[in-house]
Amino acid sequence: MKFLSLTLASLGLASAASVANKVSKVSYDGWKVFRVNDGDTAEFQAVVDNLQLKTWKGRVGHSAVVDVVVPPTQIEAFTSSGLDTKLMHDDLGASIADETNFPVYASAKDARAPNATWFNAYHTIADHFQWLKDLSAAYPANSEIIVAGKSLEGRDIQGIHIWGSGGKGSQKGVVWHSTVHAREWITTMVNEYAAYKLLTATDTATAAYKDKYDFYIFPLVNPDGFAYTQSTDRLWRKNRQTTTSASCVGRDINRNWPIQWAATGGASTSPCAEDYKGASAGDGVETKVLKAHLDGVAAGKGVQLYMDIHSYHQLWMYPYGYTCTGTIPEAATYKTLVAGAVAAVKASHGLTYEPGPICSTIYKVTGDSVDYAYDVAKAKFSMTVEMRDTGNYGFVLPPAQIVPGVEEMWAGLSYLLANM
């Protein structure tokens, strides 16, 4: 999700205008999140600008609903502004504390192979790396850890390669990315759950997926940003790359791919913006790594399916992001396939996801990986999702929703694998 407005660092929110120097951990204690039902009005924008507030959602489709993050010092002014609001988070800091009560991970070094209890809580970045290694070590005949490259700060962009009876590299590729935007923690768990199901499930349908495709699953493609959400600012979005033109830090990796990068209206040219596109197309350290890996799969057996997992708003989308008028030739096929995936999601836990092209379903997006995978890497299918929920919790989704969240996504992904 992107932001409508820019919050100044004077509010103490480092995620909008952080400098490269180390900063103290951002506290959201006492902060509230409100849903505003008339977010497309000049009155609303005036309030946001005057109080220098950050928003959690841009205009989605034809909806004017916007979620607004309000610090304690501005709560009285905001609630007395006359806007039509609903309280979402009463204390954002308390919600974050519930998320960050990390359990101790007993790794396979203690003779415990990864199991489903992993999905009962969120975890530290170190445990995420170790868990994936332990999962692969438990199934060496069908998987291996792969490293696409290094992040800006030298962390591995680590994934897992999973294959079937034909041996590794024998089939067309399925490439899945998640945690492109660092604060979207639930998405990390989705790709880990997908890898877990592919390796542990014993049913014939799942075995058939592995026999038909080679899977390249990357749960944490923005490890520096993710680490920063755990050390400093839970709501950080971008990578941690500096720019020579400003003191602000970070590029939006999903606005930096070399596809319609120079087009206007789908990303920001301001280094301080949450959706900053970067100084040039593909100049993001992580973008280069991810692009090179995707290009490599494409140059081999080809890409059957590319997926980019995000949160939040319950949307299942496909190209294009950079234009709301252009239509892909396979639009009818995509529409049918996505409708089936959405139905499978709803059958799992009852949630409704809205299907459609990126631009008209959420907003215009330029320099995004889905359009690149479709137009350049020639993926037969290229899609993205915005996961649960629709704003009750937003980016700070309670641990109790991890299991139903990953289960419903696996239901949708399984439908694609069985029917695409």
pLDDT single digits (tens) 76-86: 999 999 999 99
- 328 with 368, same domain: the answer is yes
Per DSSP, 252 falls in state -
Contact 6, 270 (CB under 8 A): yes
10 or 290, greater pLDDT: 290
Residue 70 is assigned to a structural domain of this protein: yes
This prediction has a pTM of 0.92
Task: Please report where in the chains the tokens 């932001």 appear, as a residue.
Answer: 3
The tokens of 355 are what? Answer: 């299907």
Question: For the stretch 184-208, what's the b/e string if a residue is b when 16 or more beta carbons lie within 10 angstroms of its beta carbon?
Answer: bbbbbbbbbbbbbbbbeeeeeebee
**Which is it for strands 85-89 and 54-55: parallel, antiparallel or unpaired?**
unpaired
Q: Above pLDDT 90, what percent of the chain?
A: 83
The predicted pLDDT at position 337 comes to 98
- 138 with 88, same domain: the answer is no
Residue 186 is assigned to a structural domain of this protein: yes
Is 3 a residue whose pLDDT tops 50? Answer: no
- 52 with 129, same domain: the answer is no
Handedness of CA 363, 368, 371, 374 (dihedral sign): negative
Is 181 a residue whose pLDDT tops 90? Answer: yes
Residue 109 is assigned to a structural domain of this protein: no
Is 144 among the catalytic positions? no
Considering 100, 133, 150, which residue would you say is the last residue of a domain?
A: 100
- 88 with 137, same domain: the answer is no
Please tell me the distance from the alpha carbon of residue 392 to that of residue 411, in angstroms, as a whole number: 23
Q: 3-class SS at 309?
A: strand
CATH of the domain at 391: 3.40.630.10
Per DSSP, 303 falls in state E
- 175 with 67, same domain: the answer is no
Interval 65-71 mean pLDDT: 91
Residue 245 is assigned to a structural domain of this protein: no
Contact 259, 371 (CB under 8 A): yes
The predicted pLDDT at position 5 comes to 37
pLDDT class of 244 with cuts at 50, 70, 90: confident
- 209 with 77, same domain: the answer is no
- 201 with 281, same domain: the answer is yes
Considering 47, 66, 100, which residue would you say is the last residue of a domain?
A: 100
Work out how many domains the chain is built from and give that number.
Answer: 2
Per DSSP, 243 falls in state B
CATH of the domain at 44: 3.30.70.340
Task: Please report where in the chains the tokens 């949160």 appear, as a residue.
Answer: 311
The predicted pLDDT at position 59 comes to 53
Question: For the stretch 152-161, what's the b/e string if a residue is b when 16 or more beta carbons lie within 10 angstroms of its beta carbon?
Answer: beebbbbbbb
Considering 100, 130, 157, which residue would you say is the last residue of a domain?
A: 100
Is 7 a residue whose pLDDT tops 50? Answer: no
Residue 351 is assigned to a structural domain of this protein: yes
Per DSSP, 33 falls in state E
Residue 22 is assigned to a structural domain of this protein: no
The predicted pLDDT at position 338 comes to 98
- 73 with 210, same domain: the answer is no
- 187 with 40, same domain: the answer is no
- 81 with 163, same domain: the answer is no
Element (H, E) at 158: strand 156-162
Please tell me the distance from the alpha carbon of residue 184 to that of residue 390, in angstroms, as a whole number: 14
Instruction: Exactly one of 99, 274, 286, 386 is catalytic; name it.
Output: 386
Q: How far is CA 30 from CA 89, 148, 334, in A?
A: 10, 40, 44
Please give the residue range of the domain that contains residue 62: 32-100
Give the number of other CB atoms < 10 A from CB of residue 71: 20
The tokens of 226 are what? Answer: 């993710």
- 303 with 385, same domain: the answer is yes
The predicted pLDDT at position 21 comes to 45
- 92 with 142, same domain: the answer is no
User: Mind listing the pLDDT tens digit for each residue in 12-44?
Assistant: 334 433 344 456 899 999 999 999 987 778 888
Mean of pLDDT over the chain: 91
Residue 362 is assigned to a structural domain of this protein: yes
The predicted pLDDT at position 4 comes to 40
Please tell me the distance from the alpha carbon of residue 240 to that of residue 193, in angstroms, as a whole number: 27
